[in-house]
A and B are shown apart, each in its own frame.
Chain A
Amino acid sequence: MTDYNFAYLDEQTKRMIRRAILKSLAIPGYQVPFASREMPMPYGWGTGGVQVSAAVMIQEDVFKVIDQGADDTTNAVSIRRFFERTADVETTETTTDATVIQTRHRIPEEPLTADQILVYQVPIPEPLRFLEPSEVETRKMHALEDYGLMHVKLYEDISAHGAIATAYAYPVEVEGRYVMDPSPIPKFDNPKLSMPAIQIFGAGREQRIYALPPYTQVVSLDFEDYPFEATKADHPCGLCGSTDSYLDELIVDDTGGRMFMCSDTDYCGARRAKGHVGAEGTPLQENAV
Chain B
Amino acid sequence: MEHSSLAGGFTDPPQESAQAFRGIMRAMACPGTICDVAGAVPPAPLSVAAGTVLITLADHDTGIHLAGHYNVQAVRDWITFQTGAPLVDATDAQFVLGTWEDIDLSNLAVGTAEYPDRSATVIVDLPVLKAEGATLKGPGIRDVARLNLPDLEAFRRNATLFPLGLDFMFTCGARIAALPRSTKVS
Contact = CB atoms under 8 A, between A and B. Distances in A.
Interface string A109-124: 0000010000000000
Contacts of A259: none
Interface in B124-170: 138-142, 162-163, 167
Contacts of B56: 15, 18
A24 B141 CA distance: 16
A144 B113 CA distance: 8
Contacts of B142: 196, 214-215
Interface in B74-114: 94, 113-114
B55 to A, nearest CB: 9
A142 to B, nearest CB: 8
Contacts of A21: 25
Contacts of A196: 142
B163 A27 contact: yes
B130 to A, nearest CB: 21
Contact of A25 (B29, B115, B141, B162): B29
A143 interface: yes
Interface string A230-268: 000000000000000000000000000000000000000
A214 B163 contact: no
Given A18-B56, A213-B29, A213-B30, A6 B18 contact: yes
Contacts of B167: 22-23, 26
A140 B114 contact: yes
Contact of B139 (A12, A15, A57, A217): A217
A114 to B, nearest CB: 8
Contacts of B52: none
Contacts of A16: 61
Q: Give the interface centre of A18, A25, A58, A178 by most chain B CB atoms within 10 Å.
A: A25
Contact of B113 (A23, A24, A32, A143): A143
A274 interface: no
A62 interface: no
Given A23-B117, A25-B180, A213-B30, A6 B25 contact: no
A30 B140 contact: no
B182 interface: yes
Contact size class for A?
Answer: 35 or more
Contacts of A107: none
A131 to B, nearest CB: 18
A177 B139 CA distance: 12
B14 A28 contact: no
Contact of B121 (A22, A142, A178, A212): A22
Contacts of A213: 28-30, 139-140, 182
B140 A58 contact: no
Contacts of B180: 25-27
B15 A6 contact: yes
A26 to B, nearest CB: 4
Contact of A59 (B15, B58, B113): B15
A32 to B, nearest CB: 5
A216 B59 contact: no
Given A22-B24, A23-B117, A178-B163, A58 B19 contact: yes
Given A23-B167, A26-B182, A215 B140 contact: yes
Q: Kindly list the 5 A-B residue pairs having the minimum CB-CB distance in the complex, ordered from nearest.
A: A213-B140, A26-B180, A6-B14, A143-B113, A23-B117
6 contacts: A22-B167, A26-B28, A56-B21, A198-B25, A198-B26, A216-B139
Interface of A: 5-7, 11-12, 14-16, 18-28, 30, 32-33, 55-59, 114, 139-140, 142-144, 175, 177-178, 196, 198, 211-217
